Amino acid sequence: MSRQIDQLWSGILENIKKEVNGNSFATWFKPIKPAKLEGATLTIQVPSQFFYEWLEGHYSVVLNSAITKVLGPAAKLLYSVIIDSSIQSMQLPSMKKVSPKAKVQSNINERFTFDSFVEGDCNKFAKAASMTVAKSPGGTTFNPLLVYGGVGLGKTHLIQAIGNLAIQNGVVNRVLYVDSERFTMDFIDSIQKNKTTEFSSYYRNADLLVVDDIQFFSNKERTQDEFFHTFNALHNKGKQIVLSSDRPPKELNGIEERLISRFQWGLVVDIQLPDLETRQAILQKKAEENGLELPGEIFQFIATNITSNIRELEGALIRLLAYSSLKGVDITLDLAKRLLKDVCLPQMRAISIEFIQKTTADYFGIPDDMMRAKTRKKEIAQARQLAMYLCKRLTDSSLKTIGLHFGGRDHTTVIHAIAVVEHMMEKNQLREQVEAIKNKIEIAQL
Ligand code: ADP
Ligand code: MG
């Protein structure tokens, strides 16, 4: 029996693995234990109430559909949550059942709203345009609205928010969200099954059609042709089209000119990389949404170290939350540093030696190229020794590497410098300076 349930569970995990990224899988699905199987009712054991809520809030569709695939349509999911790590447990139902009908209706994720979208200079214009379109789909000159920008910067969130608001305000009947790959696959499928008419009318009857990641239409001639006609049909009827892409329309290689020109009929807006304040605000918002209060320094630490992708920013926070809920410990800055070492450290290390040199030079009011110069003037030599000492203490760099950064000095020079500084500190000299500079460096890295 227990072998059977383990096997089933592995099968379910295999299915889940295909749907979620590696980090989420490790965080949220590895800790689950299959507890009981009665008929088609599977009970899984999760480590905390928080875990249960998170899974239900974010992964219920993924979980339920994986379980249905393995256990059949009658499958039912129950959770058992371990309380205070004792055996005592409480049974909780899976709240949401997959509802295939709702999926066909729009494919829009309710989580992606304007309310949960943090505004910054990077996305202000895109957000304003999106809201305008959402309030009056097809009723503005922003047709199509095309939002472009790099990976993980909020394109999908924003264009789905348009759908959510339009549905909520009741200004449209039929909203459809589809990514271009799905569109392509469904189209090919419809050709094989002789159902292209149904396919066409499905999309051409939308009031608001949202197509994500149109760069994937590249080099798919027949799909592009179909989309061209879909586009025209909708546009002629005054229906709204919203598109996203990872680059501006002109740079969409492998896409027909007539489509590219249509993509630019309405409004093209971009989303840029968020600045530090925006990144912090996003983290704060995500924490709030999950009912969590964290010290500001944690947000600052994550936001300083993850700069290029909001999805990763979120991922870092989620890892902290999961860990603290699993182990029942508070999230502290130390914990954050430890857990996020792999995401954050490469950047911290990369700037370290130069940064230490600069901070030390600034502190002593000397030009930072003096760190690499040959001069033996006493103040300069001492500042240089101190910087070498800090490089050894604050980075993982080898003595050899440190020496090279200080004007190609030998590693024995570095050893000597460290010994001198340590010796002086034992005599309570230099200690204050070392601490002050160390503080400056560490604060700047937060
Ligand atoms: P893209 O489609 O551009 O790759 P997504 O829309 O999938 O990016 O965004 C990645 C994650 O970051 C999502 O979870 C999304 O909710 C979040 N996100 C992106 N931008 C914002 C923002 N401005 N405010 C709040 N969350 C955001
Ligand atoms: Mg996307």
Can you tell me the distance from the alpha carbon of 49 to that of 316, in angstroms, rounded to the nearest whole number?
A: 21
Tell me: do 331 and 216 sit in the same domain.
no
Kindly state whether residue 376 falls inside one of the protein's structural domains: yes
| C-beta of 123 in contact with ligand 1 (< 6 A) | yes
Q: Does residue 101 lie in a domain region? A: no
**What CATH number has the domain bearing residue 396?**
1.10.1750.10
Query: Is 47 within the bounds of a domain?
Result: yes
Pair 130, 238 in one domain? yes
What DSSP assignment string belongs to 247-281? S-GGG-TTS-HHHHHHHTSSEEEEE----HHHHHH
Residue 58 has what pLDDT? 82
Please give the Cα distance from 305 to 100 (Å, whole number): 40
Q: What are phi and psi of 242, to 5 degrees?
A: -125, 130
In short, whether 310's Cβ falls inside 6 Å of ligand 1 is yes
What does each C-alpha distance from 46 to 79, 127, 296, 396 come to in angstroms?
7, 38, 29, 38
Q: Does one domain contain both 394 and 412?
A: yes
Answer whether 117 contacts ligand 1 (Cβ < 6 A): yes
pLDDT of residue 435: 87
pTM (2 decimals)?
A: 0.65
Shared-domain flag, residues 259 and 171? yes
- Give the pLDDT of residue 26: 82
The answer to whether the CB of 333 falls within 8 A of the CB of 318 is no
Clarify whether residues 247 and 373 are in a common domain.
Answer: no
Q: Does residue 102 belong to any structural domain of this protein?
A: no
- Asked if residue 143 and residue 245 are part of one domain, the reply reads yes
Query: In this predicted structure, what is the pLDDT of residue 347?
Result: 52
Tell me how many domains the chain contains: 4
Instruction: Identify the domain boundary among 227, 251, 271.
Output: 271
Same domain, 263 and 134: yes
Q: Ligand 1 centroid to 139 CA: how many Å?
A: 26
Per residue in 247-256, pLDDT (tens digit) is 999 999 999 9
CATH of the domain at 156: 3.40.50.300
For ligand 1, is residue 111 a contact (CB within 6 Å)? no
Provide the β-strand partners of residue 90.
81
Residues 303 and 377 in one domain: no
Closest listed ligand to the CA of 286 = 1
Which residues in the chain come in under a pLDDT of 50? Answer: 84-88, 96-104, 349, 446
Q: What is the pLDDT of residue 14?
A: 93
Residues 222 and 250 in one domain: yes
Kindly report the protein residue whose alpha carbon is nearest to atom 1 of ligand 1: 152
Same-domain status, 203 and 242: yes
pLDDT at 337: 86
Domain, as residue range, for 330: 276-339
The residue type found at 405 is: H
Whether residues 235 and 178 fall in one domain: yes
Q: Is residue 106 in some structural domain?
A: no
Beta strands across the sheet bearing 240-245: 175-179, 208-212, 240-245, 145-149, 267-271
Q: Is the CB of 314 under 6 A from ligand 1?
A: yes
Atom of ligand 1 nearest to the CA of 127: 23
Please state the atom number of ligand 1 nearest to the C-alpha of residue 150: 3
Alpha carbon of residue 138 to chain centroid: 31
**Six token digits for residue 235:** 């546009």
Q: Are residues 267 and 295 in the same domain?
A: no
Residue nearest to atom 16 of ligand 1 (CA): 157
Out of 219, 251, 271, a domain closes at 271
Question: What is the number of H-type helices and E-type strands within the chain?
Answer: 19, 9
**Contacts with 123 (C-beta within 8 Å, 6 or more apart), sequence order:** 117, 153, 154, 158, 271, 272, 274, 278
Give residue 271's pLDDT: 97
Task: Tell me which residue of 388, 300, 296 sits closest to 344, measured CA to CA.
Answer: 300
Task: Tell me if 58 CB under 6 Å of ligand 1.
Answer: no
pLDDT in tens, 161-198: 999 999 999 999 999 999 999 999 999 999 999 999 99
The residue out of 317, 339, 361 marking a domain boundary is 339
Domain of residue 319, CATH code: 1.10.8.60
